[in-house]
Amino acid sequence: MAEETRVGTEVSLAVGEIVRMVNTDVIAAYPITPQTHIVEHLAELVADGKLDADFITIESEHSALSACLGSAAVGARTFTATAGQGLELMHEVLFVASAMRLPIVMAVANRALSSPLNVWGDHSDVMAARDAGWIQIFTENGQEVVDTMLCAFRMAEDRRVLLPVMVNIDGFHLSHMIEPMFLPSQKEVDAFVPPNHYPFPLDPNKPVAMGDFAPPIIYTEAKWSQEINIEHSAPVIREIWGEFATQFGRTYRPVESYRAEGAKTLLLTMGSFSETAMTAVDKMRAAGIDIGLIRIRLWRPFPFAEFREAAKGADTLIVLDRAISFGVGGPVAAEARSALYPMEKRPRVVSFVGGLGGRDITVAGFEEIVKRGKEIAAHGSPREFEIFGVRE
């Protein structure tokens, strides 16, 4: 678009710029690698008077998200960011934020979990939080992070949604990249993200009680309404992405396919590894190997229809997870299997876990995964899932 400017900057800083442009009121954040560049940049913007917000230098992540509850409940536009252990310390609060319908936007610079201590990227943190009732979106590159951040405020605060939104950004591999990105102009942001009008704020002029005690006679209904609510957010999410495409010319969908048409073998990834996977797909296609790629962008609410549509026709779906559900395998693979199961003709799911704790997977690595995946599809594996590149 004409009014956007192309800048080369670090992805974390671009996140901060979007938080500034939407005129956020409150940021409550606790420093944790690799999220720090996001909050440091925001603190700087506040200190320099470029963003008129209260930046709460809070004493823990549990309190960070708790402060966000209070801030969102009085109707303030609220942002926080975390990673890894921080997300786990927030765990209890995550469920409250979604059940109380508080539109908080949180960037997660995805990181591995202790022990042993590891500050690098994988999806262990977010996979442990997948059932918390948040809208969860995975991003692939800097531009997508910028665009998703902008859409996240719209989605969270839409009166039909009113849910917290988690924007997943692979720690270091994406959060610390310096990339060229189109940043919207202030005018475009103002046009796209209207002011936050939380419909039921804590206000003495119109008192409400939030977070009451629910005995068995009403708890099930409360949870059912929460489920209905997140299901109903899906069309709104699509609608907002549609509007974004009209205004900015970049299209986002819950599930993306890359050279998947007619492919009998598909690779499934989430997050920043998809870029490498695309290069690998190009290379393999050029070598005559039958392969395509699908990528889940909207992880919660899970886009069943789009996912089945993207996977249909394939014989094999090779899923690469960047987290282990211990005793089970890859969490994405497990969900993919369950989503595909009702289909009459469905691809066989082959599960790999890899890229843990920041270990890179190169183009050659993906070629190897596809090669081994095809072998497993044809001959089976002694294991439910395999770990890519592990030294035994």
Which residues of this chain interact with another protein, rule CB under 8 A?
Answer: 23, 25-26, 28, 52-54, 56-60, 62-64, 66-76, 78, 92-93, 96, 100, 195, 201-205, 207-215, 218, 222
Evaluate whether 91 touches 61 at the Cβ level (below 8 Å): no
- What is the 8-class DSSP label of residue 90? T
Residue 90: CB minimum distance to another protein, A: 10
Q: How far is the CB of 108 from another protein (least distance, A)?
A: 19
- Nearest CB to another protein, comparing residues 202 and 245: 202
Q: Which helix (DSSP H) or strand (DSSP E) does residue 295 occupy?
A: strand 292-296
Q: Compute the CA torsion angle 37, 43, 46, 52 (nearest 10 deg).
A: 90
Q: How far is the CB of 26 from another protein (least distance, A)?
A: 5
Nearer CB in complex with another protein: 26/83: 26
CA distance 38 to 111: 15
Q: How far is the CB of 78 from another protein (least distance, A)?
A: 7
| Smaller CB separation from another protein, 221 or 309 | 221
> Looking at beta carbons only, is 59 or 375 nearer to another protein?
59
Nearer to another protein among residue 72 and residue 349 (C-beta): 72
In the bound complex, what is the minimum distance in angstroms from residue 91's beta carbon to another protein? 11
- 54/275 with CB nearer another protein: 54
Cα–Cα distance measured from residue 379 to residue 316, given in angstroms and rounded to the nearest whole number = 12
Q: And the tokens for 78?
A: 């609220």
**What does the alpha-carbon distance between residue 321 and residue 82 come to, in Å, rounded to a whole number?**
21
Place of tokens 């252990």: 85
* Contacting residues for 245 by C-beta, under 8 A, at least 6 apart: 251, 252
Of the chain, the end-to-end C-alpha distance in Å amounts to 51
**Cβ of residue 227: shortest distance to another protein, in angstroms?**
18
| Shortest Å, Cβ 171 to another protein | 25
CA separation for the pair 305, 218 (Å, rounded): 31
Phi first, then psi, for residue 258 (nearest 5°) are -130, 115
Closest CB 219 distance from another protein, rounded Å: 9
Q: Which is nearer to another protein, 57 or 279 (CB)?
A: 57
Q: Which pair of tokens denotes residue 201?
A: 């704020």
Q: What is the rounded CA–CA span in Å between residue 101 and residue 156?
A: 9
Nearer to another protein, 214 or 364 (CB): 214
Alpha-carbon span 151 to 148, nearest angstrom: 5
Least distance from another protein to the Cβ atom of residue 101, Å: 12
Q: Which is nearer to another protein, 3 or 221 (CB)?
A: 221
Distances (CA, A) of 307 to 81, 157, 320, 337: 28, 26, 15, 11
CA 62 to chain CA centroid, nearest Å: 20
- Name the residue among 154, 168, 150 with its Cα closest to residue 300: 168
